[in-house]
Structure 1
Amino acid sequence: MDVRRMWRQWLSRHDRVRDALPGVPLVVISVAATAVGDNSWHEPYWFDGVWTALSCLPLAVRSLRPLQVVLVTLAGDLALMAFAPHMVAAPAASLIALYTLAALGDRRTAWTVGVIAALMITGVYAGSHTESLVGGASLVRFDLAIAATALGRAVRSRRDHLAEAAGRVELAERTQEEEARRRVTEERVRIARELHDVVAHHITLVNAQAGVAHHLMRTNPDRAYEALAHIKDNSRTALDELRATVGLLRQSDDAPDVRAPIPRLTDLDALIGGFQSSGLIVTVTRLGAPRPLSPSIELTAYRIVQEALTNTHKHASATRAAILLDYGPHLLRVMVTDDGRPGAPKGAGTGHGLIGMYERAVAVGGSATAGPRPEGGFQVVAELPLALAPATVPGAS
């Protein structure tokens, strides 16, 4: 097995030797054939072997110039068949050249040349041997030329099929790798978005309530104690939400029992209570007919409201915020506005919160916009479909 592999590797590095190799048995056979007599063996006709070797020389470049090699070998074999019919039993070099042309060239050229060569070989053989064109010996030459062409096309088809199969496998592997990288990227963004929403919201409230407790510790211990209690509650809620978020990120489906407990629109009162305890007055208005929605839609709406209120509390210097939930026939419209002053100082935000809003809305097939209002304050508007499209479920959160 090792010898065979080494031999193949050596031939792959020596193209001319590989191309000329089929001519070796042709020369040996032709010399041996001249040594066979009617009743005994005799001295071979070495002159016939020399001519056979000369006719096989063009085969050394058959992979480089297949059509030219066919023409040269065919001309030589036909000349020998016409002028020295006893020297050529079959145009072997031409058959090898026809096979090479069919295996390396295009189908139309291969069959055109193959049929013409078969007709010429049959005609010259029949004329030089005073045979009929439809005689057995003449038809054998015709069949040999057609068979060489057909064999070459079969080999070419098999090679093309194997190359196509290898290409499909390579494409599938490359597509699989790209899909895996895409899913990893989406999951990283998804995790970052969830952690940002949970951590940023609760840390903002804890920071605000800690400031209140620090300010009132000496002048109003009771209210300072109340602020510390809110800090404790928010810290516990943050830990619970982080656990729920980790559980949510570990699942790929959208079943409520799998991802529970996750925030929903029914939890807005608790969310608003945390902000109000920090001094922000929040009102909620519901239009249309509120109804249960897909957990992913409800989670998206809740996170958008949460991020909008967090930004309002951190950056807008606002005292009031209004939430509007408008249940339409096909869309849920979520709008959060505040009364922040146009010149209010901004905190050192990263912009990830707004980006997360857009990504969440788009992930469930909706849209989101955010920007300052002409009359002052800031406004976030999101339109979410009431029914989640199945194709968007994996990235819904």
Structure 2
Amino acid sequence: MTTWMVALMVTSVGWAVRVDSHSWWQLPVFLAATAPVLVWRRHLASALGVMVGAMAVHVLAFGYVVRCGAGLPVAFVAAFLVGCAHDRRRGVPMLVAAGAFATLVLVRDTAAGLALLPVGLLVQAGLWAVGQVARSRSALADELRARTRELQALRDERTALEVADDRARVSLELEALLDERLARLELAASSQDAGVAVFTGLEEDSRRTLEDMRRVVGVLRGGEVALVPAPSVAHVEGLLARRGSARLSVDGDPRTLPPSLELSAYRIVEHLLSVLDDDPDCAVALGFSDDALEIRVAGRVPRGADVRAAVSRARERARLHAGSLEAKVSRGRARVVATLPTAVATAIG
């Protein structure tokens, strides 16, 4: 708009109003007086100072021309921005600068003149008041957002404290549970008449202790207690079914073994199958005897498989139950035999 008005004054003749200058220099000077309002966020006071100075140069250099069409809207915007950006103490001097800019726009304006100055100043004052209201609303919204974040932080802290309190309570419960079970185990072990019934009771107590510990540890980890039972020998068939082609055979009389031994047997098979090809040549055999569970796994080893690591993990599982594991790899095939004594596992529960 500024460019259009200045170009119109420079190129036109025979205006009904007085135009003292037709110089093209009006355009850059007028732009210097109006464009700084665009950078008000960086430093509004400096922008107003540049605007007032440039408009004073324009008035002194070019005399009577039409300035109100583009100058007054800029003056009104400046007054509103002063109200939005600063409080009354800092904003009043800047509002005076905006009023001085409006005065310079009208002092040698041939279209409106100083007669319009009181109206212009009133409009500026009204827009400054509107800016003050907008500023207060924005400050209130910022304060509400800050309080909301503070309340959220307090809520999260309270939740964390409640969780920590629950975990401390559960830890005490676990400690009391273990003390009770250990006392019963010590009493039973010191009995001179320990027999099959005593060891059966020890086994049942050990199983209950294991299940209680799993439940409590699940709570301490921060998650829900797992409802799925721990893997056992009965789940080996499902493990092979998920692979697709591996075969399972069972020898002897299958029976329920201590949970810890069943879990270790499942993990041994799982570790070994992880490094074998899924093809019909892969076979798993479980042999149940009176005093041991024998696990035989055979299959093709794919290139790059870390057989040593898998065998090491499986061997550690066997050693937990005083068992043994032998592995042989030849011509791309692996054969592993693991033996887990069941008599020892039954005795220790």
Q: TM-score band (shorter)?
A: 0.3 to 0.5
What is the TM-score of this pair, normalised by structure 2? 0.43
Q: Which has the larger radius of gyration?
A: 2
Q: TM-score, with normalisation over the residues of structure 1? A: 0.39
